[in-house]
Amino acid sequence: MRLKICHLYPDVLNLYGDNGNIICLRERLRRRGIDCELQRVPIGEKADLSNADLVFIGGGQDFEQEVLLQDLRGGKAAELRAAIEDGVCVLAICGGYQMLGAYYETHDGTRCDFIGALDLYTVGSPQRMIGNTVFQCTEECGGAELIGFENHSGKTRLGSGLKPLARVVVGHGNNGEDGFEGAHYKNVFGSYSHGPLLPKNPAFCDLLLRTALERRFGSVSLEALDDRAENAAHDAMRRRLLKS
Ligand code: GLN
């Protein structure tokens, strides 16, 4: 078995250790003897998303998001929409998550029309939502408790048909108002959690790997790994945030 991971815009979208998610995905495959092919697609380079099993997009500031618009319009937006409709597994963080929606209007009124793959939009606010977070995933998204870190001014609103990824326990999530975090559509998981997200949340990492592997190869069972270090990192932050 070989899993093809595409890392979109590693040169531009990489805040707060987002690239660590790629290390984590690869390492959990390696420890199980599953091959991994990693394609890094920086701005200006062609992607072959129709061939990918899992696409990762990190976060970026408003400036970087604006820089990407032209490249997206050059073909990647349509390719990404098609891959999403075809069930490719996608993890998109913060600025990358916003990019999957219809648009992002910055606080100073600049409008970035994004790819419209997910029924959501984002509007910048004067408030920055910053800090370590605890989110409880919906059952559909595996039910795990996620530890992350968020830093955004954009407030994201989901359309009525789009489900959230999680419920906010500590933090702001999508907008600091409705108690929800991220979005889930087909095999796409969007989240505001930097951190990097996956090393502290191994069950969520395995959910992504299983989703991507099963789409390609049918039913797979992932061998359990020794996650003591990962769980200790998760629990240490959880204790600090929940004071329990
Ligand atoms: N520019 C976006 C915002 O501030 C995204 C920031 C990020 O990716 N951390 O809302």
pLDDT band at 244, cuts 50/70/90? low
| Token pair for 51 | 């061939």
In the beta sheet, which residues pair with residue 8? 41, 57
Residue 206 is inside which H or E element, if any?
helix 202-217
Q: Is the pLDDT of residue 243 over 90?
A: no
Give φ, ψ of 189 to 5 degrees.
-125, 115
Determine the angle formed by the axes of helices 202-217 and 20-30, rounding to 10 degrees.
60
Question: What pLDDT does residue 57 have?
Answer: 97
What total number of domains does the chain contain? 1
Atom of ligand 1 nearest to the CA of 61: 1
Long-range pairs of 176-183 with CB within 8 A, sequence gap ≥ 24: 176/127, 176/129, 181/133, 181/135, 182/97, 182/135, 183/97, 183/100, 183/118, 183/120, 183/156, 183/158
CATH code of the domain in which 157 resides: 3.40.50.880
Question: What percent of the chain clears pLDDT 90, i.e. is strictly above it?
Answer: 94
Atom of ligand 1 nearest to the CA of 58: 8
Q: Is the pLDDT of residue 163 over 90?
A: yes
Q: Does the beta carbon of 101 lie inside 6 Å of ligand 1?
A: no
Give φ, ψ of 94 to 5 degrees.
45, -105
pTM attached to this predicted model: 0.97
Residue in 129, 152, 175 to alter for ligand 1 test, most ligand atoms within 8 A of Cβ: 152
The tokens 């910048």 sit on which residue? Answer: 124
> What is the average per-residue pLDDT within 122-147?
97
| 183-185 β-sheet, strand order | 35-41, 2-8, 54-57, 89-93, 188-191, 183-185
Question: What pLDDT does residue 195 have?
Answer: 83
pLDDT tens digits, 210-240: 999 999 999 999 999 999 999 999 999 999 9
Mean per-residue pLDDT of the chain: 96
Q: How far is the CA of 166 from the centre of ligand 1 (A)?
A: 19
The tokens 């190869």 sit on which residue? Answer: 217
Q: Does the beta carbon of 95 lie inside 6 Å of ligand 1?
A: yes
Q: Does the beta carbon of 94 lie inside 6 Å of ligand 1?
A: yes
pLDDT tens digits, 71-127: 999 999 999 999 999 999 999 999 999 999 999 999 999 999 999 999 999 999 999
Question: What pLDDT does residue 218 have?
Answer: 97
Q: How far is the CA of 173 from the centre of ligand 1 (A)?
A: 12
> What is the average per-residue pLDDT within 54-70?
93
Q: Which residues are catalytic?
A: 94, 194
Q: Which range of residues forms the domain containing residue 52?
A: 2-242
Q: Does the beta carbon of 60 lie inside 6 Å of ligand 1?
A: yes
Give φ, ψ of 130 to 5 degrees.
-130, 140
> What is the average per-residue pLDDT within 54-78?
94
Q: Does the beta carbon of 62 lie inside 6 Å of ligand 1?
A: yes
| Token pair for 167 | 């419920």
72/186 Cα distance (integer angstroms): 21
Question: What pLDDT does residue 242 have?
Answer: 95
